[in-house]
Amino acid sequence: MNDHVSLQRTSGCEPVSSEAATLAREILDGDLSIDHAIARAAELLLSSDRVEVVATALTSFAPEDEAGWTRLGGRAWVREWANPGASASILPPTGAGPEHALTMPWISRIARSGLAILVDRELLPEEADQDREELNRVGVRSLVGSVYGARGAMFGSLSAGSERAGQWPEELIGSFRLLNAAITSRLTQEHSRRALAEAIETSNEAQLSYQHFFGAVGHELRTPLAAIMGYTEVLMDDASSNPQDPVSAGLLQDGPVILRACEQLVSVVDSLLGAGRTFTDDDQRQDVVVADAVADVVHWHRAPSRSAGVTMEVDIDPSVTAWAHPSAVRQVLTNLVGNAIAYHRPEGGSVHLSAVSLRGESGQEMVRIIVRDDGLGLTSEQMQRVFEPFVRFADKASKGSGLGLSISRTIAERDGGAVQGTSTPGVGSSFWLELPAKAPYVP
């Protein structure tokens, strides 16, 4: 605390008037708009016979109702309330620019860290000459001031001025401190709300770019890849008619390598295109019958599971529903079931699909759709990386892009859910899709 004689010492535990306590509750309850809350606080402070003028500034928000407010240089809004007959006025003259606003550097430095309670401008030190000159110009002899600020952000200021010198009543100081804190809390809340809205908007823009990227990359890659694979196959057919030729022998040896590399890239392209279609689908979030979605996915995998010697078992209550995009649920389950079949044991195995209801960390009702296999399993080190793009742990002969789980997690998070898993080497793996069970309640 600054101990200069011009400043009044405070304990920080001053009494508060009942009117200030009631108003602070109203402000914190959100019953008043921010500019209305400031106006009510100013009127209450002005009711003290120690105060002739109250002024406020907003530097981060424009008032909802601009009547009575003055804009300074496009970066601040100021307003003043004064008792009838008061000669003091903190506002710049009508039509003046921001350069005419009070700066009071010495007092402002103190106000940024708490209350600045000036008892007499004439007692200010020499280094506060600018403060003294500005206060003399506007007719203020003493004042109480502070900023609206929290966590390093400053939203404006509040000050109560008097044409007289002298100590300030403790109850007035306590009431000022409480009202300033209540207004600061509301401004901080509004700042957080706007920051969240901007973050959501930015996220939506990023997701749209993500969609366009998937679609553009997929289409641009598929055409040249098809050409490379087609010409390679033609060249290999020609080479097979004269395998003794050195050039033909080279083609027959290296051609399969080219085709395998192209097939790997096609798998990546297919993953990108599938994700792009899922993200750009026009369907809306709705109640999705989990058993129906699982039945579709199992039907689509009937041929590959039969070829791999993998049996699929389903145990899902027909009444279980999830709140999501129908295409997204099927896309994620397709990736999970496809992985479970692809990473089976050489002698085959089984894939079991089930669903359970549970509550999330926030208490929201959720549905977890579990895909469990008895395959080779993954180590804990592999599980830590399994959701990274292009990470694969299968042998080179197994097709796949390494994008399935990464894209599945992104799709699930878009619908307010998640994709997670556990695995034990030699025992098998369980991966699950978790989604909200119902639409969020909107009062």
Point out the domain boundary residue: 141, 175, 196.
196
Distance CA 432, CA 322 (A): 13
Q: Give domain status of residue 172, yes or no.
A: yes
**Side chain identity, residue 214:** F
Question: Which ranges of 354-439 does DSSP label H, i.e. alpha helix?
Answer: 380-385, 404-414
Residue 114, domain member (yes or no): yes
Type of residue found at 433: L
**Together in a domain, 187 and 298:** no
Read off the amino acid at residue 349.
G
Residues 6+ apart with CB under 8 A from 317: 291, 355
pLDDT of residue 362: 67
Q: Is residue 382 part of a domain?
A: yes
Residue that the structure tokens 């000050």 belong to? 159
Task: Please give the chain's pLDDT, 443 residues, in tens.
Answer: 456 788 998 888 889 999 999 999 999 988 888 989 999 999 999 999 999 999 999 988 888 888 888 887 667 888 999 998 888 887 776 665 556 677 888 998 888 888 999 999 999 999 999 999 999 999 999 999 999 987 777 888 999 999 999 999 999 999 999 999 999 999 988 888 887 777 767 766 766 666 666 666 666 666 677 778 887 888 888 888 888 888 888 888 888 888 877 776 776 666 666 655 555 555 678 899 999 999 999 998 888 899 889 999 999 999 999 999 888 898 899 889 988 988 888 888 999 999 999 887 667 899 999 999 998 888 988 888 888 877 776 655 555 556 778 888 888 888 889 999 999 998 999 999 999 997 765 44
**Residue 232 is assigned to a structural domain of this protein:** no
Residue 294 and residue 149 in one domain: no
In terms of domains, do 302 and 414 share one? yes
CATH code of residue 371:
3.30.565.10
**Residue after which a domain boundary falls, among 140, 174, 196:** 196
Same domain for 167 and 309, yes or no, is: no
The domain that holds 85 is classified in CATH as 3.30.450.40
Q: List residues bridging with 117 in a β-sheet.
A: 144
Q: Which residues contact 200 (CB under 8 A, 6 or more apart)?
A: none
Contact of 411 with 417, CB cutoff 8 Å: no
**Same domain? 294 vs 441:** yes
175 and 45 Cβ atoms separated by less than 8 Å: yes
- Per the structure, the complete domain to which residue 87 belongs is given by 18-196
pLDDT of residue 18: 95
On whether both 302 and 425 belong to a single domain, the answer is: yes
DSSP-derived secondary structure letter, 11: -
Residue 160 lies in a domain: yes
E strand or H helix at 168: none
443 shares a domain with 299: yes
Q: What is the CA radius of gyration of the chain?
A: 35
- What is the pTM (predicted TM-score) of this model? 0.53
Shared domain check, 165 and 309: no
What pLDDT score does 22 carry?
94
For residues 38 and 178, membership in a common domain is answered with yes
> Rounded to an integer, what distance in angstroms lies between the CA atom of residue 341 and that of residue 350?
8
* Residue 36 backbone dihedrals phi, psi, to 5 degrees: -70, -35
Of 167, 196, 225, the position where a domain reaches its end is 196
**Spatial distance between the Cα atoms of 59 and 66, rounded to a whole number of angstroms:** 14
Asked if residue 176 belongs to a domain, the reply is yes
Two tokens, residue 387: 């959701």
Number of folded domains that form the chain: 2
**Does residue 429 share a domain with residue 289?**
yes
